[in-house]
């Protein structure tokens, strides 16, 4: 082979390699995925979320929890946004999500604005990941970069929800196992539980701790007594109003800070699963560290754990689809 041919062969091999590598790279999440295809997509979501949270700060909690519930059931593929149809009860209609999950109208507003600007480009799964991040920032929490390029899933079954979303009655071992199943560590679980620094809960998620705790004690001994009395007044024994909601962090309910960890330390964690974080010396130590007045290290750790959560089981490349309407699978 002469030199010219060898050089040509080299160039061809190089190009083939480049095409192969770029196709592999394309099939992964990457920063600023929409830079070329829908410039300003993330800003549109951010403005939509900021407006929504400004007019109703409760919206932020809805969106953060929605992203968590999307990611833990079939990966972060926007499946939580899909409506039920005749013959298929979707994730959002599991009792775990309905009626407590909210904020869908914010995703719709962002999607609509994006479809007007660049039709068929930005996935519902990415919009939800951006919206959760922007909700944290809108309430004074940290902000972080998100790798995007998630594609929308084609499956949403309500029967998948209960077995994948941790229950508020879980103990430390069950919580750790549940997060490990999703590729997240116990430390991630402790860090992400800090999201309970905002938002509300219905009585049914914690009345197990107030009445008939077990055969020897009525009330969970890990509960602060004043806090328990307050909860009992809001959620009376027997049939509390199913619409009553209780703030999870009554001190700063609309501030995305680290006060959750002080709540947990002092017996004001709302769920068994919150108070479970102090039932082991190692996890208790983390709770204490995260409760520091300076908000560090938690404020550093939270974004990193959110990034890991937001990349669970994502669809990329040619997988799934870009839904036109977040409520329905494209026909």
Ligand X SMILES: *[C@@H]1O[C@H](CO)[C@@H](O)[C@H](O)[C@H]1NC(C)=O
What residues are labeled active site?
69
Does residue 160 have a cis bond before it (omega within 30 degrees)? no
166, 269, 303, 320: residue in contact with ligand HEM (rule CB under 6 A) = 166
CA distance 74 to 158: 11
Residue 273 binding ligand HEM, by CB under 6 A: yes
Residue 116 binding ligand X, by CB under 6 A: no
* Least distance to ligand HEM, CB of residue 73, Å: 13
What H or E segment, with its residue span, contains residue 265? Answer: helix 259-265
Residue 278 binding ligand X, by CB under 6 A: no
CA distance 105 to 102: 8
Can you tell me which residue has the tokens 């700063």?
252
Residue 145 binding ligand X, by CB under 6 A: no
Can you tell me which residue has the tokens 């549940």?
178
Contact, 158 vs 93, CB < 8 A? yes
**The tokens of 109 are what?**
């507003």
Residue 212 binding ligand X, by CB under 6 A: no
Of these partners, ligand HEM, ligand X, none, which one is at the site of residue 205 (CB under 5 to 8 Å by kind)?
ligand HEM
CA distance 309 to 298: 16
Per DSSP, the residues of 37-83 read: TSTTHHHHHHHHHHHHHHH-THHHHHHHHHHHHHHHTTSSSSGGGPP
What H or E segment, with its residue span, contains residue 30? Answer: strand 30-31
Residue 199 binding ligand HEM, by CB under 6 A: yes
Residue 141 binding ligand HEM, by CB under 6 A: no
Residue 243 binding ligand X, by CB under 6 A: no
Residue 269 binding ligand HEM, by CB under 6 A: no
From 64-72, 78-86, 141-149, 317-325, give the range in contact with ligand HEM by CB under 6 A: 64-72
Residue 159 binding ligand X, by CB under 6 A: no
Question: Which candidate, 282, 92, 254, places its Cα nearest to that of 185?
Answer: 282
Nearer residue to ligand X within complex by CB, 99 or 221 = 221
Residue 71 binding ligand HEM, by CB under 6 A: no
From 113-121, 215-223, 232-240, 269-277, give the range in contact with ligand X by CB under 6 A: 215-223
Of these partners, ligand X, ligand HEM, none, which one is at the site of residue 84 (CB under 5 to 8 Å by kind)?
none
86, 163, 214, 239: residue in contact with ligand X (rule CB under 6 A) = 214
Q: What is the SS3 assignment for 42?
A: helix
Residue 279 binding ligand X, by CB under 6 A: no
Of these partners, ligand HEM, ligand X, none, which one is at the site of residue 221 (CB under 5 to 8 Å by kind)?
ligand X
CA distance 290 to 300: 10
- Structure-derived torsion over alpha carbons of residues 19, 23, 29, 35, reported in degrees to the nearest 10: 60
131, 195, 287, 312: residue in contact with ligand HEM (rule CB under 6 A) = 195
Contact, 189 vs 214, CB < 8 A? no
Residue 216 binding ligand X, by CB under 6 A: yes
Q: What is the SS3 assignment for 295?
A: coil
Residue 221 binding ligand X, by CB under 6 A: yes
**The tokens of 13 are what?**
């091999």
From 34-42, 84-92, 146-154, 167-175, give the range in contact with ligand HEM by CB under 6 A: 167-175
CA distance 254 to 269: 16
Between strands 200-202 and 245-247, the pairing is antiparallel
User: Cβ-closest residue to ligand X?
Assistant: 214
Contacts of 193 (CB under 8 A, 6+ apart): 260, 273, 274, 277
Residue 280 binding ligand X, by CB under 6 A: no
Tell me which residues touch ligand X (CB under 6 A): 214-217, 221
Tell me which residues touch ligand HEM (CB under 6 A): 61-62, 64-65, 68, 100, 102, 166-168, 170, 175, 189, 192-193, 195-196, 198-202, 205, 271, 273
């Amino acid at each position: 082979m002469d030199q010219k041919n060898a050089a040509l062969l080299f160039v061809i091999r190089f190009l083939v390699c480049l095409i192969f590598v770029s196709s592999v790279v394309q099939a992964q999440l990457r920063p600023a995925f929409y830079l070329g295809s829908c410039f300003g997509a993330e800003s549109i979501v951010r403005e939509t979320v900021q407006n929504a949270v400004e007019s109703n700060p409760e919206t932020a909690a809805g969106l953060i929890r929605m992203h968590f519930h999307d990611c833990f059931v079939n990966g972060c593929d926007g499946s939580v946004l899909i409506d039920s149809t005749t013959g298929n009860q979707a994730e959002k209609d599991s009792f775990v999500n309905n009626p407590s999950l909210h904020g869908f109208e914010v995703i719709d507003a962002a999607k609509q604005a994006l479809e007007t600007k660049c039709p068929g480009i930005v996935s519902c799964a990415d919009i939800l990941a951006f919206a959760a991040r922007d909700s944290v920032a809108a309430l004074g929490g940290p902000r972080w970069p998100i790798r995007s390029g998630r594609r929308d899933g084609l499956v949403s079954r309500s029967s998948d929800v209960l077995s994948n979303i941790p229950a508020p009655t879980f103990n430390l071992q069950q919580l750790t196992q549940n997060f490990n199943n999703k590729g997240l560590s116990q430390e991630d679980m402790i860090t992400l539980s800090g999201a309970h620094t905002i938002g509300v809960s219905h009585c049914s998620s914690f009345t197990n701790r107030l009445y008939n705790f077990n055969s020897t004690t009525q009330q969970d001994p890990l509960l602060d007594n004043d806090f328990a009395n307050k909860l009992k007044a809001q959620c009376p024994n027997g049939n509390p109003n199913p619409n009553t909601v209780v703030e999870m962090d009554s001190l700063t309910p609309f501030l995305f800070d680290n006060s959750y960890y002080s709540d947990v330390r002092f017996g004001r964690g709302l769920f068994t699963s919150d108070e479970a974080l102090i039932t082991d010396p190692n996890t208790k130590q983390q709770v204490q560290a995260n409760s520091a007045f300076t908000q560090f290290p938690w404020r550093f750790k939270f974004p990193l754990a959110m990034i890991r959560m937001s990349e669970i089981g994502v669809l990329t490349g040619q997988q799934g689809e870009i839904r036109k309407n977040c409520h329905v699978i494209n026909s």
